[in-house]
Amino acid sequence: SQGESEFFTLAGIDLEAMHLSHGMSGILNLGFIIRFGDVKIFHIGDMDPAEVTVSDLKAFGLPEKQIDIAFIHDYLLTEDEFHAHILDGIQARHLVAMHFGGQPPIELKDIFPNLTILKDPYQSWVMP
């Protein structure tokens, strides 16, 4: 159920897995946070924002976890109705866009100044 997560630790690396609905019956989607020392990385998986609300994300305590990097789907970034999921429900220091095909809208950097979009398959990024 939303708000419940499982914690695992292996070789000093912490993993927190949480059910974030995919929106399709019978398909389990897991979002997860990986912590290496003081750095926290969040991957949203294939979450359906129509099924997982901002309140659900807050129930997992995501804003309080002070996430450093969040990997976010393109539709959460491009659809105005889902911006609160990122800005209020997750509140990560840095965002990395996933699944963009073609050129993303330039105004995304106005809304999400901490957004990185890797446009080239061989491009890399280093967290500042």
pLDDT digits (tens, 9 = 90+) for 33-86: 999 999 999 999 899 999 999 999 999 999 999 999 999 988 899 899 999 999
Q: Which residues make beta-bridge pairs with 89?
A: none
pLDDT of residue 116: 85
| Residue 2 pLDDT exceeds 70 | no
pLDDT of the residue at 103? 65
Spatial contact of 90 and 67, defined as CB atoms under 8 Å apart = yes
Distance CA 109, CA 100 (A): 14
Rg of the Cα trace of the chain? 14
Using DSSP's 3-state secondary structure scheme, residue 82 falls into: helix
Q: Which residue has the higher pLDDT, 1 or 70?
A: 70
Model confidence pTM above 0.85: yes
Question: CA 124 to CA 54: how far, in whole Å?
Answer: 30
pLDDT at 105 exceeding the cut of 80: no
**Cβ pair 71, 98 in contact under 8 A:** yes
Q: How confident is the model at residue 8 (pLDDT cuts 50, 70, 90)?
A: confident
pLDDT exceeds 60 at position 5? yes
